[in-house]
Structure 1
Amino acid sequence: MTPSPSLAAATLAAGLLGALQAPVPPVADVVEHVAAPVSPAYWTPERMARAIPIDLRSAVRQVEALTASVLPPSPRAGYTRPPEQRRRPGRVGSPGRVRQAAAPAAMPPATTSGSQWAAGGSVTRTTGRVFLTMNGVDFVCSASAVRGASRDLVATAGHCVKDGTGGWAENWTFVPGYRQGRQPYGSYPARRMFVAGPWSRGADDDYDVGMVAVTTSGGRHLADVVGAQEIGFDARRGLRTYGFGFPADPPYDGERLLYCAGTPHGDPQRQTGDQGLRCDLTAGASGGPWLSGFDPATGRGTLVSVSSFKYSNDHGTMYGPYFGPAVKDLFRTAERA
């Protein structure tokens, strides 16, 4: 039986009303940039050696005098610049001043605030240095290859991709497995770059994460060459974490992979939702991976954060953003690039 026109109209109206009332999936708040090609002649060994470590994002965060009683300054001298010095670093200290690691044991220390990683494994291939140009200055950061649909995805800090509300990085190139100038797996220039909207609009440290889709090298995808770390979201806070990177401010020179390991805690300053890890690594480690569920024997874990900032009155704690829904949206957008 054919429904009457009035019944059909009522049915259509009810359907439209239901569609309007149904929850609409939120649109990911992600900002994208198509990277310009990087000239193969740009990153010469000499230019790489001269690149300076980008500041840990908020090493210069202003800490109120009242909070100093809550979190007293570290008793040892650190690299962190005082709040009034908001400019980028000028020159790196003399090269070669590298903290010597103890003779490697059968298994690396499960708690350390800064040791050379000598256990090998996947992390030595998936972690690398990033070379980039920001506002006409050549910088270095750290980053990690991440498992994603494109097999070309790198995760790092947002400030290693975009200068907060400012411009995007240029000449962005990832060198996995970097060690003392060697590039055993080649180099991978950026083709598309992604940051969360709150980072792009306001340099919000809770969202200091960048994802970069890189080009292939010799026709091979990054993950097919070096492997990739898994990435996780909404993880339970306070899980034992290993943080890796290539610190380049003294006493380090950026030429070796170092790590910190321990149990992270919340931000005692209550200025961010980040977690803090006792860690003496300096600038240049920015963007380095934080891995939970990490197996030192294989060098594999799950990426749950990246090195982001230090407070000016606590040189011994590194903070990293929590990977919640916004970072999940960022990853899902970037992995399809």
Structure 2
Amino acid sequence: MTPSLPLLAVAALVTGLLGAPGREVPPVGDVVEHVAGHASGLYWTPQRMARAVPIGLLAPSTLPSIARAALPQAAGGILAPGLPARPAGPARIRQAAAMPPATTSGTRWASGGSVTRTTGRVFLTLNGVDFSCSASAVRSANRDVVVTAGHCVKDGAGDWAENWTFVPGYDQGRQPYGAFPARRMFVAGPWSRSGNDDYDVGMVAVDDLDGRHLTDLVDGQPIAFDPPRGRRTYGFGFPADPPYDGERLLYCAGVPHGDPQRQTRDQGLRCDLTAGASGGPWLSGFDPASGRGTLTSVSSFKYSNDHRTMYGPYFGPAVRDLYRTAERA
């Protein structure tokens, strides 16, 4: 973990024009904001969406660029011959997917309910490469907030995403509620400065669609901070690496545990979902009948020596600050 660098706020004042599209603006507290440039509505054609690469990469400390996810995949991660091993332990991989099972490491969600509307796919461009992730609409004051992983918004200390678009309720190419482009993006300072996995959370305020706000159309899951650890959790997403294709909503469910490597404050959930599930919501207090729960984490990474456990960051004060900033955007 790299210590925080408080000079970031000063650097943003010097290097960015406040509020200018495509430029970073000063953080509020320890929140770093980016005003998204508006991509053409014609950019995300069905063909481009089908070709988007699911984000699945080693942690930024071992791989300098998220664009390496476009390299050949192996076991849900990427081939990176010649790169040094992570000195603190195993490398991490970004991956994160009758009544449905209450414990499963990966099952198609076929029970309907609110989660099928609030969960969706994200399509974005980083370093010239088109990627896909997962995300969730949440209840907010502005009715426009989407929560995903930080690495689905900004490449750690690197570039911000472009052409960022959320498709709620995505199902086998169908977009029943339309596509919502980003207008403002937010990550925590420790993620923006060093790709600190404890803060791998991104929040995006999206444009309305023909005058209607996102949660007016699809509703939103409630969000909670400082939740009790070890509560039964359902994790959802659109994994797109084999054996999955990103076309259907899948889920995992179980009781999460602490990080046995002690490299993060994250919790781990038994989960076989693959790349593309990154950013998918973790819902506690989940009711399978209604498809409603409380958002308490998102899918973040897997360790290279344990591909069956997905880790998600703990929603503490830094994530609360992110949310309060995003819902005022």
The aligned amino acid for 2:33 is E
- CA deviations 1:57-78 (Å, max 9, x no partner) are 639979xxxxxxxxxxxxxx94
Q: 1:260 to 1:61 in 2, by over 3 A?
A: farther
- Give distance in 1, aligned partners of 2:309 and 2:229: 16
Match of 2:77 among 70, 75, 80: 80
SS in structure 1 at match of 2:244: coil
Q: Displacement, 1:82?
A: 6.3
- CA deviations 1:37-74 (Å, max 9, x no partner) are 01011001111111110115639979xxxxxxxxxxxx
Match of 1:269 among 245, 261, 272: 261
- Conserved? CA contact 1:80–1:315, under 8 Å: no
- Give distance in 1, aligned partners of 2:39 and 2:301: 28
The equivalent of 2:295 in structure 1 is 303
The aligned amino acid for 1:43 is W
The equivalent of 1:35 in structure 2 is 36
Q: 1:114 to 1:85 in 2, by over 3 A?
A: farther
TM-score (norm 2): 0.82
Aligned: 1:282 with 2:283: no
The equivalent of 2:48 in structure 1 is 47
The aligned amino acid for 1:295 is D
The equivalent of 1:94 in structure 2 is none
- Conserved? CA contact 1:279–1:317, under 8 Å: yes
TM-score (norm 1): 0.80
The aligned amino acid for 2:250 is L
Q: 1:259 to 1:219 in 2, by over 3 A?
A: same
Gaps of 5+ in 1: 1-26, 63-76, 87-100
The aligned amino acid for 1:80 is G
Aligned: 1:150 with 2:147: no
- Give distance in 2, aligned partners of 1:83 and 1:170: 25
- Give distance in 2, aligned partners of 1:243 and 1:107: 16
The aligned amino acid for 2:190 is P
Over aligned residues, Cα RMSD in angstroms? Answer: 1.8
- Give distance in 2, aligned partners of 1:193 and 1:302: 22
- Conserved? CA contact 1:247–1:258, under 8 Å: yes
The equivalent of 2:309 in structure 1 is 317
- Conserved? CA contact 2:60–2:195, under 8 Å: no
- Conserved? CA contact 2:57–2:78, under 8 Å: no
- Give distance in 1, aligned partners of 2:251 and 2:326: 27
Number of positions where the alignment pairs a residue of Structure 1 with one of Structure 2: 279
Q: 1:56 to 1:224 in 2, by over 3 A?
A: farther
The aligned amino acid for 1:44 is T
- Conserved? CA contact 1:60–1:81, under 8 Å: no
Gaps of 5+ in 2: 1-27, 64-73, 84-96
The aligned amino acid for 2:312 is G
The equivalent of 1:172 in structure 2 is 164
Aligned: 1:336 with 2:324: no
- Conserved? CA contact 2:56–2:78, under 8 Å: no
Structure with bigger gyration radius: 1
- Conserved? CA contact 2:32–2:186, under 8 Å: yes
- Conserved? CA contact 1:175–1:188, under 8 Å: yes
The equivalent of 2:21 in structure 1 is none
Q: 1:85 to 1:160 in 2, by over 3 A?
A: farther
The aligned amino acid for 1:108 is P
- Conserved? CA contact 2:56–2:76, under 8 Å: no
- Conserved? CA contact 2:188–2:201, under 8 Å: yes
- CA deviations 1:127-171 (Å, max 9, x no partner) are 000000000000000000011110000000000000000010000
- Give distance in 2, aligned partners of 1:61 and 1:80: 13
The aligned amino acid for 1:33 is H
Alignment of 1:187-202 (within 5 A): 187-202=179-194
Aligned: 1:228 with 2:228: no
- CA deviations 1:4-61 (Å, max 9, x no partner) are xxxxxxxxxxxxxxxxxxxxxxx62000000000101100111111111011563997
SS in structure 1 at match of 2:283: strand
Q: 1:60 to 1:246 in 2, by over 3 A?
A: farther
